[in-house]
Amino acid sequence: MKVVSVNIGKKQLVNWKGKEEYTGIYKYPVDTSIYLGDEDVDGDDVVDRKYHGGTYMACYIYSADHYSYWKELYPDLEWDYGMFGENITIEGLNEKDFNLGDVYQLGGAKVQISQPRKPCYKLGIRFGTQAILKQYINADYPGIYLHVIENGEVKVGDELKLIQKHPDKIGLLEAYHLQYDSTEDDIDRINEILLSEVVTPDVRSGLLKRIG
């Protein structure tokens, strides 16, 4: 899995429901390396720290392989890597291959798979339609938030290499699906997952809502 783009965003003023507000969703490729810090990527503007940045969402990665799917749905957009607000675009990345808590080497940084990304209205602003939110949830292409274990630089050409699988084996996509479309048949599995120390507060909150 190779890095094909590293992307940085500066906050931009947008209009949402008649109000002006800032967003960092507009990220674009840069020619330099980027530095993964404890809670964010250096030089990357994070506006809403409730949903972005911090210990469990320090860096967001997305698969370059998914871009062809979205380009077919939105052929009139001006496409470039960073469209989904990702800091790093990686070819060969498939969310089904990842478990929560897995540890990887990514360039000069050591990172842990933290949680899938849940879309918000600001992605809809970037795409020009809030219809993208439901499409995004249904597509099984959530991308991945990372917890940074060891800070370091990442550049185009670096690889995402597995160091250690987490023993609890909670699939990233499993945790994603259970937050949106679980049924009573899934309650036992949800309770089992909730016992794991690797479950982040955001995922925990989403799962608890499914079981009342």
Tens of pLDDT, residue by residue over 118-141, are: 988 889 999 999 999 999 999 999
- The pLDDT of residue 17 is 82
In the block, tokens 């330099």 appear at: 32
- The pLDDT of residue 196 is 97
Q: What is the pTM of this model?
A: 0.94
- The pLDDT of residue 53 is 83
Tens digits of residue pLDDT in 146-165 = 999 999 999 999 999 999 99
Alpha carbon distance, N-terminus to C-terminus of the chain: 39
- The pLDDT of residue 48 is 74
Listed as ranges, residues in the chain with pLDDT below 70 are: 51
How far is Cα 190 from Cα 179, in angstroms, rounded to an integer?
9
CB 195 within 8 A of CB 170: no
